[in-house]
Structure 1
Amino acid sequence: MPVDDFPGTRRDAPDQMGELPERLRHGATDPQPHVEGKADELTFESLFTTVWRRKWTIAVFGFGFAILAIALVYSLTPQYKSTAVVMLDRQQEQVIDVESVVSGVSTDYYSILAEAQVLRSRALANRVVEAAGLEQNPYFNPLLLPEEEPGLVGYVIGGAFNLLKTAIRGAVTDEDSVAPTGRDLLDESYWVRQRAIDRLLGSLEVMAVSDTYVYALTVETPNAIMSAEIANKVAELYILDQLETKFEATQKATEWLSNRVAELKSELERSEAAVEAYNSSTTLISEAALAGMNRQLKELRERVIALDALATESGTRLERLEAALDAGDYETFALAADQPRLSTLAADIAGAAPGSGARQAMENRFETAAQRVLVQTRTERDRALSQSGAVTSSIAELEQQLSTQTDDLVELRQLTREAEADRRIYEQFLRRLNETSVQQGVQQADARVLSPAVVNFNASYPPKMLAVLAAGFFGGLCGIAFVLIIEQMNNAFRSSEELEKNTGLAVLGNIPVAPVRMRRGVLDYAVDRPSSALVEAIRNLRTGVLLANVDRQPKMIMLTSSLPKEGKTTCSLLLAQNAAGLGKKVLLVECDLRRRTFRTYFSGAPKHGLMSILSGEKTFEEVVHHDEKVGFDVVMGEETQVNAADVFASQKFRQFLQDARDRYDFVVIDTPPVLAVPDSRVIAPLADAVIYCVRWNSTHKDLVKHGLAQFAQIKVRVAGLALTQINTKKMAKYGYGGYNYHYYKTSSRYYLN
């Protein structure tokens, strides 16, 4: 059919689509823009339901992790721990009443920590390695282990690693640029010793027992006997190290004190001679006058310190005030200014409405008062700085006077003090030399072994039960995370409540999936089982549509969806059949001219369809098909070379709908998906009610919102939504059933499915 046969093509469609009064005269509801609903709410109940529904998935994760943990822990080499206990001995036996050269270990917190570091020092570990012969133990010297032939994988990985290392070295260095590292200068025994020390320190754990002077020395190795022997050896050598340290320190102190006493004796003789010579060559100055000048100088210095502190305090306070005022933080400014009046005004400003005249007036008063505070603080700072400078000048003058008058007295006093100090030092060192000489041979250790290590054949590592439980728990957490991520990736609607919240529109019907395999079976099922859940859901949909506008009940009902295969056609067929069951005269029009699926539902339908009526090739009576079993008339879709949207925008199509409105009680229009083609948007202004079908757990939320927005743009109000193809059993598993699922569950006794 040529395009010119349709005067309502794109050239003149706007005038005809804009005839809303025509639509309103036939009872259509007033168009209004789509209102977006609330976003999804995540609740504890939904989380719990999701986790419970996927409990077997989570269990698989937990069980799998536990199996891996079992395989891992039984492949690890068991380790055995043994612990020796050492205590710092505070009660030393005092053989002679002389202070030791090396004092005993202090028992304060930091000294206890320091002793713990001594126990873990490389020096002590070196002595243990040497005394216990750990260099000959394969655990501490891996070079003693027999070489294992690598397998095929080992050969491949090792060869690839060597090639890569050679390539990198060749790329970044050459023979002339390689600097000696000094490693080759050390013999192999040095590195064997260092590796043994590292392994020993890695196996040794030193723990200070809380609120005591006790250390627990724990050694962990693959051999239980070896662990006990090493722990006891560490404790033994630690105590021996204390004795040797004290003996060496006493011996060195005695030698050093002897030399130092001789030097101090000569210095004392020279100091006393210098005092006598200076005292005979000068006149003594009055000490009272100098003392008065010193007191005055002290007072002036204290005055400078006070003024500097005042200037600093004022400057800091000024910076805080300026920063608070610049930031508009009136409360901080009032707090720094320490003025109750400003604090009250700041509180009033905070309580006033932003932008109000009262707030602006209070802010102006605050700014004026703040400027006065800033000026006062700045003046206080400048005055303190000025006074500090003046007093500093006075101090300089007084110091000069005092210096010229006290040089001789200071010199004499200095010589006297030096002589006296030399005498005291000499006497002290002489006494200490005598004390140190008698200490050699009576040194005692500051610690003792409280409990030697014993052999423990219970493996400490790996903790098999704990590892398996922890792995299972972690696997369960991973399973929960996996389940929640999968659930969040599902962006479809699973309940009418969720659909209403996201769209702001009412859900008029919740249509369960039809329990049939063939399309034709849908109508047969509805006719044969009028009391089934599917038919009852369609009745609810019909009731919801009729009650959507009680004053102007719709006669022409259009159904559409976002995308194909959302149950739109099934709803159209069942809605028409349900209305016909009430004794109403119903016409079902297939306006999806591209897919044309109605002929699969009706056998014996005429060849011609809607396009034949619009072109005038056939009359309405020749095209309309009446199905006796379902009780309503059908106008099939028909292929056309003209753009479908132009067909539906034509005056002939409008006249066709008007004739159908006059002939029938209800006209149900099945239209294409709104996001696929514009046909639905062209037909929607001509319908009394638009029902938007959304497939349960399939249609994405963004697609639904975008589709509804298409109708909002042309000022067409969607009467309501239909949630289609609901699997009630899965809905219960998802925990999204709410009222709908419980409705089907409790009402199932009334359904004959």
Structure 2
Amino acid sequence: MLKRLETQREAPAPAEAETGFDIHGYVNFVWRQWKLIAGVTALFLLVAAVETARTTPLYTASAQLLLDPHKEKAGGQDAIMTDAALDLPTIESQIAIIKSSALLRRVVEKERLVEDAEFGARTRVGGGLLDRLRELLSRNAPQQAPARTVASALGGSPETVATVENVKQAVAVARAGQAYVINVSFTSADKEKAANLANAIADAYVVDKLDARFEAARRASAWLSDRLVELRQQLRESEEAVARFRAENNLSGSTPGATLNQDQLAQLNGRLVQARAETAEKKARLDMLQKLEARGGGIAQLPDVSSGASAELRRQASDLSRQEAELLARYNPSHPSVVNLRAQIADVHRAIAAESQRLAANIRNEHELAKARQEAIEKTLREVTGANDLDNTKAITLRELERTAAVNKSLFEDFLQRERVTQEQSTFEARDARIITPALAPVTPTSPKPLQSLLVALVLGLMAGTLGAYALEMLNAGFATPREIEDFLALPLLASISRMDQRELSVNGAVVSIPEYPLAKPLSRLSEALRSLRSAIQMSDVDNPPKVLQFTSTIPGEGKSTLAIALAGSAAQSGQKVLVIDGDLRRPSASRYFGADKKLGLVDCLVGAAELHSALVYNETLKLWFLPAGGKTQNPPDLLLSERLRTLVTSLREQFDLIVIDTPPMGPVVDPLIISNLVDKVIFIVRWSSTAREMVAHSIERLSGHKKVAGVVFNQVIDSKAQKYGKHAYSYYYGGRYYKKYYAE
């Protein structure tokens, strides 16, 4: 089946590479279209040269401005106008200021440019082709505000506005790399004027920055002065309100916002904390004493409970117990000394017990006393708290008044400091922009640049010429190379027949027909092409060499009839008995070639009006037999579908070695499809680089079901153009310079 492309196939220029980038294909494309490319390029160069010669030379002068991000502060203090970081948006904003109409209007008025012949007369900078094109395009742009409206907004006359617009077109402002430097350029036909106006614009920007800074400082100082008067009055009123509220409500606490009850409440809270701590301590000693008594212990076991008498009694008891032990060692217990000593010991123990009871009573009394003191303080605190609740609303109001007074005081002091700094800055000239490189009159013009213009024209011309050539080849929908036939139709290219004009067909001063040319020039390119075609047809089916051939095409005028006769003549010269049948019953071109268009022929044989032997014509020149189309018929398809045609062809197979049937084109009629059922092979003729691919593909698709299409023959090939398709035009090479020595024209 056909390998028809689903998408639009690329044009043959440049030729397709099998893989990757095909440099040869592009070279061949340029070779094919070099005249068009060269012509378009020459036109561009001519226009560029004429335009360059007509354009007035323009000069561009540039001044450099430095934006200083580290300018000196006034009076060593932070200025009221804080410096913004010079980031990209800030620098772009400064560039916009330089190019603004307001700043340029100052320059126009100062330099009296309204009266200038170049700008005041509304003459555009330049005046070349590009400027005229720009003016033409601007007519379709959205309409701007009327000149009088703009003039009213800028505070100038319409002439001034027009001059500002002309000057704006001559100004170019750009940042110099990543530095804080701005280039201010001006373009004019006068080099001195260009330098003067570039410097004037730079000066105007510096002055504008200073004016804006001083004006901002002046406005800030005036605003601060007015604000200080208001703040001073507010501070006085707020302080008087605090004093008046204290006096009216008898509020004179030790701290701001505090009443007398609040001071007393604070003191009682402190005393209550101490009393509770003391009560807790006494309670802990009492609890420990009670635990010792419960276990049968004595107060002497408490670590911090003792007295001088208790200690002395214990020492006496210890001494008496030692003496008792010594006496018992010498005497018996009833001895008077022992009895007396034991009486003393008993008295000491009774004294110790009495002392312990006294100390325990003291601990209990101290606890009761601490508890009573705590309860007394708590009672007093409750009384004072009740009285303090009555003053809470007044205290809250007092604190609010005091806070308001404090805020007013802080705000007043801050504005007072700012007002002092602003007054100092208003008299201090701090330049954050200055000219570091003034503009000088340029030596050479910046435009036009002949070499650059010609190079641009050359590039544009080559691009336009190449695109035009590519579009031209895209519009050529015909086949141009064997590779295209093979890829698009999936059929082999059997042969390529070159186009021959009358000069080439001239033999000994006489012009011969294409079928007769191989007789006069048997070693010519045409003769070799016909022999190659015969060989290709025979090789299409080696086992069953085709005997009956059908020649057809897509549309009329592709040369199928002439080629069919030429092939038959070539076969006849090789000794074969050949018959040519004119199967085109509508336009019998072959019959006219043999001068038999009025004789009996195929139609007469099929309708029984003549016998075959009486309709056959022998051509002495080509040494072949010919069966004309014969008489006219109203319904050629019905006649061709008759059994008589099949019987006729079968009979002729036995009489001739080769039968060539010339049929109508596939496009308009169905006759070729009917005849294709009776032949061995169909030879499809395609006019080189002419017939549309889709039409050819559609015609062959109608024949492809019969599997009889042997291949395609390129006809009327222009060798000089075909060879420019490079390696994909290999079948043309036999007609090229490489094989000339093999031919004898």
* Global fold match (TM > 0.5): yes
Structure 2 CA distance for partners of 1:438 and 1:535, relative to 1, 3 Å: closer
Which runs of 5 or more structure 2 residues have no equivalent in the other structure? 17-21, 125-145, 252-256, 263-391
1: CA distance, partners of 2:482 / 2:669: 26
Paired with 2:111 and 2:203, the residues of 1 have a C-alpha distance of: 11
Secondary structure (helix, strand or coil) at the match of 2:709 reads: coil
8 Å CA contact retained: 1:38, 1:502: yes
Confirm whether residue 492 of structure 1 aligns to residue 478 of structure 2.
yes
User: CA separation of 1:544/1:130 partners in 2, compared to 1, >3 Å: closer, same or farther?
Assistant: closer
Inter-partner Cα distance in structure 2 for 1:38 and 1:470: 39
After TM superposition, give the deviation of residue 734 of structure 1 in Å.
4.2
Contact kept in structure 2, 1:493 and 1:697, CA below 8 Å: yes
2:76 alignment counterpart: 97
* Residue 513 (structure 1) aligned with residue 499 (structure 2): yes
Task: Please point out which of 103, 110, 113 is paired with 2:92.
Answer: 113
| In 2, Cα distance between equivalents of 1:621 and 1:642 | 24
In structure 2, relative to structure 1, the CA distance for the partners of 1:624 and 1:88 (3 Å cut) is: closer
Cα offset, 1:38, TM superposition: 4.9
The answer as to 2:685 corresponding to 1:718 is: no
Matched, 1:550 2:536: no
The answer as to 2:29 corresponding to 1:50 is: yes
Residues 201 and 144 (structure 1), Cα distance of their counterparts in 2 relative to 1, 3 Å cut: closer
Q: Which residue of 1 aligns with 2:190?
A: 223
Question: What is the CA–CA distance in structure 2 between the aligned matches of 1:642 and 1:446, rounded to whole Å?
Answer: 101
How far off is 1:67 after superposition? 1.5
Whether the aligned pair in 2 keeps the contact of 1:81 and 1:456 (CA below 8 Å) is yes
1:529 aligns with 2:496: no
Given that 1:606 and 1:623 are in contact with CA atoms closer than 8 Å, whether structure 2 keeps it comes out as no
Q: CA separation of 1:574/1:274 partners in 2, compared to 1, >3 Å: closer, same or farther?
A: same
Which residue identity does 2:582 align to in structure 1? E
**In the alignment, structure 1 residue 593 sits paired with structure 2 residue 560:** no
Residue 685, structure 1, aligned to residue 677, structure 2: yes
Q: Tell me which residue corresponds to 1:155.
A: none
The equivalent of 2:731 in structure 1 is 740
CA distance, structure 2, for counterparts of residue 128 and residue 407 of structure 1: 69
| Separation of aligned partners in 2, 1:559 and 1:191 | 82
- d(CA) in 2 for partners of 1:519 and 1:703? 34
Distance 2:488 2:629 in 1: 34
Query: How far apart are residue 487 of structure 1 and its match?
Result: 0.7
Do the aligned partners of 2:552 and 2:560 also contact (CA within 8 Å) in 1?
yes
Task: Report the counterpart of residue 541 of structure 1 in structure 2.
Answer: 533
Residue identity opposite 2:484 in structure 1: E
* Alignment of 1:651 onto 2:648: no
Q: Aligned pair 1:211/2:203, yes or no?
A: no
Inter-partner Cα distance in structure 2 for 1:548 and 1:647: 30
Report the alpha carbon displacement of residue 71 of structure 1 after superposing the two structures with TM. Answer: 2.3
- Provide the residue aligned with 2:615 in structure 1: 623
Is this contact kept in 2: 1:495–1:736, CA < 8 A?
A: no
Alignment of 1:104-503 (within 5 A): 106-142=85-121, 190-275=157-242, 414-503=400-489
Q: Kindly provide the amino acid, as one letter, of the partner of residue 176 in structure 2.
A: V
Matched to 1:623, the amino acid is: A
Which fold has the larger relative contact order, with Cα–Cα distance below 8 Å and residues 6 or more apart in sequence? Answer: 1
Q: 1:69 to 1:553 in 2, by over 3 A?
A: same
Q: For residues 469 and 455 of structure 2, what CA distance do their matches in structure 1 show?
A: 21
Deviation at 1:485, TM superposition (A): 1.1
Q: Residue 719 of structure 2 aligns with which residue?
A: 728
Contact 2:150 2:161 (C-alpha < 8 Å) held by counterparts: no
Distance 1:123 1:531, change over 3 A: closer
Q: Report the equivalent of 2:53.
A: 74
Asked whether the equivalents of residues 516 and 566 of structure 2 are also in contact (C-alpha less than 8 Å), the reply is no
Question: In structure 2, the residue corresponding to 1:460 is in which secondary structure?
Answer: coil
Partner of 1:608: 600
Q: Is the 8 A contact 1:572 1:670 kept in 2?
A: yes
1:64 aligns with 2:31: no
Conservation of the 8 A alpha-carbon contact between 1:684 and 1:716: no
Kindly provide the amino acid, as one letter, of the partner of residue 408 in structure 2: D
- How far apart, CA to CA, are the structure 1 residues paired with 2:516 and 2:419? 120
**Is the contact between residue 240 and residue 445 of structure 1 (CA under 8 Å) also seen in structure 2?**
no
Measure how far apart 1:635 and its partner are: 1.8
Residues 718, 459 of structure 1: alpha-carbon distance in 2 compared, 3 angstrom cutoff: same
Look up the match of 1:700. 692
Shift of residue 125, structure 1, vs aligned partner:
2.5
Residues 210 and 743 of structure 1: CA distance in aligned 2, closer, same or farther (over 3 Å): same
Q: CA RMSD in A?
A: 3.6
Cα distance in structure 1, aligned partners of 2:414 and 2:111: 45
Q: Is the partner of 2:199 in helix, strand or coil? A: helix
Partner SS, residue 54 of structure 1: helix
Partner amino acid, structure 2, of 1:627 = N
- Secondary structure of the residue aligned to 1:74 is helix
Contact 2:184 / 2:202 at 8 angstroms: preserved in 1?
Answer: yes
User: Does the aligned pair in 1 maintain the 2:151–2:160 contact within 8 Å?
Assistant: no
Q: Distance in 2 between matches of 1:653 and 1:686?
A: 9
**8 Å Cα contact 2:187-2:194 kept in structure 1:** yes
Secondary structure, counterpart of 1:569 in structure 2:
helix
User: Larger deviation: 493-502 or 199-208?
Assistant: 199-208
Q: For the Cα contact (< 8 Å) 2:496–2:732, is it kept in 1?
A: no
Q: Does the 8 A contact of 1:510 with 1:724 survive in 2?
A: yes
Q: Cα 1:413–1:204, aligned 2, differ >3 Å: closer, same or farther?
A: farther
Amino acid of the structure 1 residue aligned with 2:710:
A
| Alignment match, 2:136 | none
Letter in 2 for 1:550: V
2:95 aligned counterpart, secondary structure: helix
| Conservation of the 8 A alpha-carbon contact between 1:246 and 1:443 | no
How far apart in 1 are the matches of 2:181 and 2:411? 40
Q: CA deviation at 1:602?
A: 4.2
Q: 1:737 to 1:526 in 2, by over 3 A?
A: farther
CA 1:716/1:723 → structure 2, altered by over 3 Å: closer, same or farther?
same
Identity level (%): 28
Query: Are 1:104 and 1:446, in contact at CA under 8 Å, matched by a contact in 2?
Result: no
Residue-by-residue CA offset, 1:648-705 (whole Å, 9 max, x unaligned) = 2222222221211122222221222222332222211111222121122222222212
For the 8 Å contact 2:41–2:460, the answer to whether it is kept is yes
Aligned AA for 2:569? Q
SS in structure 2 at match of 1:448: strand
Letter in 1 for 2:478: A
Query: Quick one: distance in 1 between partners of 2:536 and 2:208?
Result: 94
Partner Cα separation in structure 2 for residue 251 and residue 188 of structure 1 = 24
Structure number with larger C-alpha Rg: 2
Question: Which amino acid is 1:272 matched to?
Answer: E
Compared with structure 1, are the counterparts of its residues 630 and 421 closer, same or farther at alpha carbon in structure 2 (3 Å cutoff)? Answer: same
- How many pairs align? 567
Q: Give the Cα separation in 2 of the matches to 1:553 and 1:527.
A: 25
Report the 3-state secondary structure (helix = DSSP H, G, I; strand = E; otherwise coil) of the residue aligned with 1:720: strand
For 2:498, the aligned partner's letter is: P
Q: 1:234 to 1:529 in 2, by over 3 A?
A: closer
The DSSP-based 3-state class of the residue aligned with 2:689 is coil
Residue 83 of structure 1: aligned partner: 62
